[in-house]
Amino acid sequence: MTDYVKNMRKYIGHERLLLVGAGVAIHKDGKILLQKRKDNGCWANHGGAVEIAEKVETAAKRELFEETGLIANSLEFLGVFSGEELLYTYPNGDMVSFVVILYLCENFSGEVKEQEEEVAELKWFSIDNLPENISPPDKPMMEAVVRKLKKV
The pLDDT, as a whole number, for residue 79 is 98
Strand runs labelled E in 14-150: 17-28, 31-37, 43-44, 46-49, 70-81, 87-89, 95-110, 119-126
Kindly state which CATH superfamily the domain 15-150 is placed in: Nucleoside Triphosphate Pyrophosphohydrolase (3.90.79.10)
User: Can you give the residue ranges of every domain in the chain?
Assistant: 15-150
Please name the residues in contact with 55: beta carbons below 8 A apart, sequence gap of 6 or more: none
The pLDDT, as a whole number, for residue 119 is 95
Please name the residues in contact with 88: beta carbons below 8 A apart, sequence gap of 6 or more: 95, 96, 97, 98, 136, 137
The pLDDT, as a whole number, for residue 1 is 72
Burial class of residue 53 (count of CB atoms within 10 Å of its CB; 0-12, 13-18, 19+): exposed
- CB-CB neighbours of 74 under 10 Å: 11
Distances, alpha carbon 20 to alpha carbons 31, 82, 146, in Å: 27, 10, 23
The pLDDT, as a whole number, for residue 10 is 95
Please name the residues in contact with 11: beta carbons below 8 A apart, sequence gap of 6 or more: none
Closest CA to 47 of 39, 35, 29: 35
The pLDDT, as a whole number, for residue 152 is 58
Mean pLDDT by 10 residues, the chain (152 residues): 89 97 97 96 96 96 97 98 97 97 98 91 97 97 96 73
